[in-house]
Amino acid sequence: MIINLEVAQALAQKQPVVALESTIISHGMPYPRNVETALAVEKTVRDNGAVPATIGIIDGEIVIGMKPEEIEEFGKRKGICKVSKRDLPIVVAKKMWGATTVSATMLCAAMAGIEIFVTGGIGGVHRGAEHTFDISRDLEELGGCPVTVICSGAKAILDIPKTLEYLETKGVTVLSNKEKEFACFYSSSSGCPVDYAFTSPEEAASIIKAKKDLTLSGGILISNPVPEEFALPHEFIDSIIDKAVKEAEEQGIKGKEVTPFLLKKVVEYSGGKSLDTNIDLVLNNAKLGAQIAVSLAKLEKGIL
Ligand code: PSU
Ligand code: MN
């Protein structure tokens, strides 16, 4: 594992660090907006007082804190493996390039000692999971890995009520920023209640610290709804998602190809609107994640 100097120093000095994933770059958005977004997310984290650490695997080496040129390469290069937990040993042993999903990024962040991680939306229980058994590894990792994930809920292509049930089974604390409902990725709330709505980054950090002090295993999920001005109306996006899900079934898209396929189709059918919203929500999450990381670092140092 290679931890870049800035990140290593920040961790040694207990300064706030925010982990970022690379699947969203290689498999979640088209080039060049994927690279522009990844760099803008890093800048937002910095502007809010934390050090960004974009995580990926280069020639079999886990990199914690990629350089801008490396981020560019993750955005451009064809054939980068989408790495969930099960893929990690293969990609490392075979010295491959790997883009880490939420689950693999959580594992790598925990190995490096990073407690806060920002993304767009987690994977979850897929629609029709009662037939396909397609449930993202992300949920298991949230159940077991001590990292807090800040996101805009689970991607809207999923079954949100089932995803929340699964998180409850795994003992994952689900918090929401201000709203009492779980975020719905591209649109305003999902109508599904969360465990608790906090009103400030300090309050969220205090809950993260309490979990740690209680030595409870696993992560915390923080849902941050997309700001109203960027949200897409349910009537608009839901029918597009339904169409994309149907197409995936018809074309026999399975396993780890499902999420990238659906995201791509939704961008296509929404005339790029879903991509704009996806970028806006990630940037909004980066701001909140950095603020929570800053508050947590202060709490740990006893200065808050
Ligand atoms: N958030 C986004 N876009 C993405 C992802 C998250 O805004 O592409 C990625 C994350 O890496 C997440 C993955 O872990 O999608 C889920 O894939 P699956 O459903 O195959 O587990
Ligand atoms: Mn899956």
Q: Write the pLDDT tens digit of every residue in 89-107.
A: 999 999 999 999 999 999 9
Cis peptide before 225 (omega within 30 of 0): no
The total of structural domains in the chain comes to 1
- What pLDDT is attached to residue 31? 97
Known catalytic membership, residue 21? yes
Cα angle 179, 130, 144 (rounded to 5 degrees) comes to 55
- The model's pLDDT over 249-259, given as tens digits with 9 standing for 90+, comes to 999 998 899 99
Which is the catalytic residue, given 82, 155, 256, 287?
155
User: What residues contact 137, with CB distance under 8 A and at least 6 apart?
Assistant: 84, 85, 86, 101, 103, 123
Pocket residue to mutate for ligand 1, from 37, 118, 119, most atoms within 8 A of Cβ: 119
Q: What is the predicted pLDDT for the residue at 285? A: 98
Domain that includes residue 213, residue range: 2-300
CATH number of the domain within which 198 lies? 3.40.1790.10
pTM above 0.75, yes or no: yes
Helix (H) or strand (E) holding 100: strand 98-100
Q: Which ligand sits closest to the CA of 122?
A: 1
pLDDT of residue 74: 98
First-to-last C-alpha distance (Å) of the chain: 33
Q: Is the CB of 101 under 6 A from ligand 1?
A: yes
Per residue of the chain (304 residues), what is the pLDDT tens digit?
999 999 999 999 999 999 999 999 999 999 999 999 999 999 999 999 999 999 999 999 999 999 999 999 999 999 999 999 999 999 999 999 999 999 999 999 999 999 999 999 999 999 899 998 999 999 999 999 999 999 999 887 889 999 999 999 999 999 999 989 999 999 988 899 998 999 999 999 999 999 999 999 999 999 999 999 999 999 999 999 999 999 999 999 988 999 999 999 999 999 999 999 999 999 999 999 999 999 999 999 998 8
Cα(162) to ligand 2 centroid in Å equals: 14
Strand bridging mode 2-3 / 61-64: parallel
User: What token pair was written down for 146?
Assistant: 């001590």
Ligand 1 lined by 22 (C-beta under 6 Å): no
- The alpha carbon of 136 and the centre of ligand 2 are apart by a number of angstroms equal to 5
Q: What is the pLDDT of residue 304?
A: 80
Confidence (pLDDT) at 188: 80
pLDDT at site 156: 79
Q: Confirm if 38 and 72 have CB atoms less than 8 A apart.
A: no
Q: What is the pLDDT of residue 172?
A: 97
For residue 116, give the nearest of 62, 169, 177, 50 by alpha carbon: 50
The residues, ordered by sequence, that sit 6+ positions from 191 with a Cβ below 8 Å of its Cβ are 181
